Amino acid sequence: MSSDSPTTTAPRSTQPSTSVRHPGLALAVIASAQLILVLDNTIMNIALPSIQTDLDISSSNLAWVVNAYALAFGGLMLLGGRAGDLYGRRRVFRFGLAVFTLASLLGGLAPNEATLLGARVLQGVGAAIASPTALSLIATTFPEGKERNRALGVYAAMAGVGSALGLMLGGVLTDYLNWRWVLFVNVPIGLLVVLGTRFLGEANRDNGRLDVPGAITATAGMVSLVYAITRGGEDGWTDGITIAFFVAAAVLLGVFLLTQTRVAEPMMPLRLLRDRNRAGSYATMLLVGVGMFSTFYFLTLYMQQILNYSPVKTGFAYLPFTFGMGVSAGFLGAKLVAFVPPRAVVAPGALIGAGGLLWFSTLDASSSYTTHLMPAMFVTSLGLGLCLVPLTLGAVRGVGEHDAGIASGLLDASQQVGGALGLAALSTVATTVSDDKLPHASAAFFQGITEHDFGLVERAKIALTDGYTASFTAGSLVLLGAALIVVLAVNAKKPRPDEIHPPVA
């Protein structure tokens, strides 16, 4: 069942349940936490070659340094949001940050691959606990309308800027210190944010218990699906293990959805999806996550492998992306949602982002940064950033306070899961195209470097570039799909005047 306005059928809107003496400081704490949590999605990317050499990680396992975090983050985020509703959002927020900070320290000290991957999983667990409670703390600290829109604009900007900032910071730390500092840097920041949580208020708690079986089946199902996609690209789609993991994913996710209709306290209350605007926001954010993750991943590989950029040069090459994301998510999106319907912002944003990825699909092995990469980065980030604030508002608008944590957790989970699934799928596209041009193109690239066979290196670069551009083409189609979903499913009207400027009590 849907409605033109979520407020007509959804539970009573979330209103602040505590009085915060320093709302500016409270927002700074929440935004800083979101910054380091999202930053960790990308800060590892530039350090991956150094990690691979230092810990002797195989090429097939290297991607799990990124995916271990993303899957734990996305898979357990619903549980984290629900924990905040049940046990107190400030308390759970503080606990999640502490886990994340400790895991960062363990990862920086990791002596081997297994320890690093375990620390990355633990980081994802901490992020999954802290991130949804951060968004729900905004929903229960700032009243609906102008104040909350401004706060959500800052929050959404941190989500976008943190991704690009992670790439820049990762380059600096890897070049001038070593890869371990991309993890160590979280420790002092995390400790400061934990101390700053005393400026946050505590919201009312819900009664109930956590749906741990639901969290296990959902996370295991998504891990199985990502592994099946990754293995299918390497060993073939008819490989017995690949098929087995696809079947396991289908069974586990099916069990998850079935149990959500039968347990008394579901991890993902399906009532949240009955409103077409909210469901459309979740689906769109999932596809936006594909666009964002794939852009960072493939551009980083292109700049370091094809254009021979150093880690620090690669990081700073992302400045146009950071600027575009800050302008669109932190300013334009927050302004526009107050005056026009959400789909009037998100649909053009998705189309602009698709255009940016299509621009990237025209790259070759000698493309210019100034005339090609830089403008395409800005266009892509401008489009993706425009989507963030309206989708964030669509997820929490009209949600009752008891569902605020789970509603916001589902939004973040959509982005993380979409990014992990999309990266696995688009990596398969890139590998297939590259290997058609030159068998085992990635291995040939490193073999050519080791043996000083520059002819082989150049052939491998051309093949790898063809794979990257094919993935960008596929990514642009995904964002076109996002625009279509918004047009068809998100029909919320222009906000009422009292939602933009709520009356003073």
Q: pLDDT tens for residues 426-462?
A: 888 888 898 888 888 877 887 788 778 888 889 989 9
pLDDT of residue 416: 79
Tokens matching residue 303: 């700049």
pLDDT of residue 361: 93
Q: Rounded to an integer, what distance in angstroms lies between the CA atom of residue 19 and that of residue 474?
A: 48
Residue 307, helix vs strand vs coil: coil
Q: Provide the 8-state DSSP code for 112.
A: S
pLDDT of residue 6: 33
Q: Provide the 8-state DSSP code for 304.
A: I
| Angle of CA points 423, 425, 430, to nearest 5° | 85
pLDDT of residue 354: 94
Length of the chain: 505
By C-alpha distance, which of 450, 452, 456 is closest to 438?
456
| Residue appearing with tokens 């999605």 | 41
pTM of the model: 0.79
Instruction: Check: CB of residue 469 under 8 Å from CB of residue 475.
Output: no
Instruction: Check: CB of residue 104 under 8 Å from CB of residue 222.
Output: no
3-state secondary structure 80-92: HHHHHHHHCHHHH
Tokens matching residue 304: 């370091």
pLDDT of residue 432: 86
Q: Rounded to an integer, what distance in angstroms lies between the CA atom of residue 500 and that of residue 505?
A: 15
Tokens matching residue 3: 């409605």
pLDDT of residue 451: 79
pLDDT of residue 84: 75
271: Cβ–Cβ under 8 A, 6 or more apart, which residues? none
Ordered per-residue pLDDT tens for the chain, 505 residues: 333 333 333 333 444 444 555 666 777 777 777 778 777 777 888 888 788 778 877 666 777 787 788 888 877 877 777 777 777 777 888 899 999 999 999 999 999 989 999 999 999 899 888 877 777 777 667 766 676 677 777 776 676 567 667 777 888 888 888 899 999 988 998 888 888 777 665 655 556 677 778 878 888 888 888 888 877 767 777 888 889 989 998 999 888 888 888 877 777 777 777 777 788 888 898 899 888 888 888 898 899 889 988 888 988 898 888 888 878 877 787 778 777 888 888 889 999 999 999 999 999 988 999 999 999 999 999 998 888 878 877 776 766 666 665 676 677 778 878 888 888 888 888 888 988 888 888 778 877 887 788 888 899 899 999 999 999 999 999 999 999 988 888 776 655 444 433 332 2
pLDDT of residue 145: 67
Alpha helices in 236-310 (DSSP H): 240-260, 276-301
Looking at residue 414, its amino acid is S
Name the CA dihedral angle for 230, 236, 239, 243, rounded to a multiple of 10 degrees. Answer: 50
Tokens matching residue 310: 């150093």
Name the CA dihedral angle for 188, 193, 196, 198, rounded to a multiple of 10 degrees. Answer: -120
Tokens matching residue 69: 């975090």
From residue 82, how far is each of 11, 286, 397 by CA, in Å? 17, 20, 17
Q: Rounded to an integer, what distance in angstroms lies between the CA atom of residue 26 and that of residue 9?
A: 31
Alpha helices in 177-185 (DSSP H): 181-184
pLDDT of residue 501: 37
By C-alpha distance, which of 336, 352, 10 is closest to 156?
336
Q: Rounded to an integer, what distance in angstroms lies between the CA atom of residue 202 and that of residue 284?
A: 31
pLDDT of residue 79: 78
Alpha helices in 1-112 (DSSP H): 23-55, 59-62, 64-87, 89-108
Q: Rounded to an integer, what distance in angstroms lies between the CA atom of residue 182 and that of residue 172?
A: 9
Residue 396, helix vs strand vs coil: helix
